Amino acid sequence: MSTSRLTVPQGRIALSTSSVYPLGVADGFVMAERLGYDGVEVMIWTDPVSQESGALRKLVDHYGIPIVSVHAPTLLLTQRIWGPEAWPKIDNSVALAEEVGAQTVVVHPPFRWQREYAAEFTAGVAERNTRTDVRIAIENMFPWRARGREMQAYLPGWDPVGLDYDHVTLDLSHTATAGSDAMQMAEDLGDRLAHIHLADGSGSFKDEHLVPGRGSQPCADLLESLAGRGYTGDVVLEVGTRKLSIEQRELDLAEALAFARLHFAASAAGR
């Protein structure tokens, strides 16, 4: 009688501090430690702790949980952080990541109205990647839709597959909103796939960030596929809990972690 053996990749399963919003960064560390996550991704936003390496290192030391990645303040809601210019946001994020020991900085592509920044974005990111061991990983986005119309809000584009980025973050809530094939994107990206934002979506026009397994995205299949090919990047749970009670938030984030642990493994016999 033969038995199959499961292999678990080296990549860590981490919690984004955005998953506890509107609570702060410290609450993200509390939740990650309580539930047994391997690390934390820090979303840089208006919470002063998210912008200060000394405060973040104290949280790392206190809770014994590493910061695996930093999300640059390139969202619409974080446009005022670190001034109005775009490149300082990236450079400050990389410096912060270096200071706290994070391996990845997640960056959204430029908005269409940031024309000068967008024109030099690909080359600028590539040049910065040569100056640091931190991976600047550009995140897939989606078209904006309203009243039956679709608007391309990002330049050089919302889909990073055909663009010349060394490192990419694949977000499965965004693939749901875009109507993209997440499995095909992961295949096409190959070794450029450096980071995962694990969430789910139903395919609506809203960026839902559901608990994985509650939407239409191939979250389980993607994790199993990544494990089978020896993926070594991190998997970050980025789940929306803003409207939930404290108790329900903890239950949802525990369920999300259990889902990731269950599926981020591969049969040795199938490799």
User: Given this model, what pLDDT does residue 271 score?
Assistant: 45
Number of domains, the chain = 1
Decide if 144 is inside a domain: yes
User: Given this model, what pLDDT does residue 1 score?
Assistant: 43
Quick one: which of 35, 69, 19, 9 has its CA closest to 258? 35
Decide if 199 is inside a domain: yes
Average pLDDT for the chain: 94
Q: How many CB atoms lie within 10 A of CB 85?
A: 11
For residues 160 and 175, the answer to whether their CB atoms sit within 8 Å is: no
pLDDT band, very low/low/confident/very high, at 6 (cuts 50, 70, 90): low
Query: Which residues lie across from 195 on neighbouring strands?
Result: 169, 234
Decide if 35 is inside a domain: yes
Integer Cα distance of 213 and 219 in angstroms = 7
Query: Which residues lie across from 267 on neighbouring strands?
Result: 6
Q: What is the residue type of 191?
A: D
> Above 60 in pLDDT, residue 4?
no
User: Given this model, what pLDDT does residue 2 score?
Assistant: 46
Q: Token pair for residue 57?
A: 């290192």
Query: Domain limits at 110?
Result: 9-264
φ and ψ at 265, to 5 degrees? -160, 155
Decide if 47 is inside a domain: yes
Decide if 2 is inside a domain: no
Residues contacting 79, CB < 8 A, separation 6+: 73
Decide if 4 is inside a domain: no
CATH number at residue 47: 3.20.20.150
Q: What is the pLDDT of residues 88-143, one digit of tens each?
A: 999 999 999 999 999 999 999 999 999 999 999 999 999 999 999 999 999 999 99
Integer Cα distance of 173 and 142 in angstroms = 10
Decide if 120 is inside a domain: yes
> Above 80 in pLDDT, residue 147?
no
Decide if 269 is inside a domain: no
> Above 90 in pLDDT, residue 266?
no
For residues 216 and 203, the answer to whether their CB atoms sit within 8 Å is: yes
Q: What is the pLDDT of residues 178-216, one digit of tens each?
A: 999 999 999 999 999 999 999 999 998 889 999 999 999
| pTM (two decimals) | 0.94
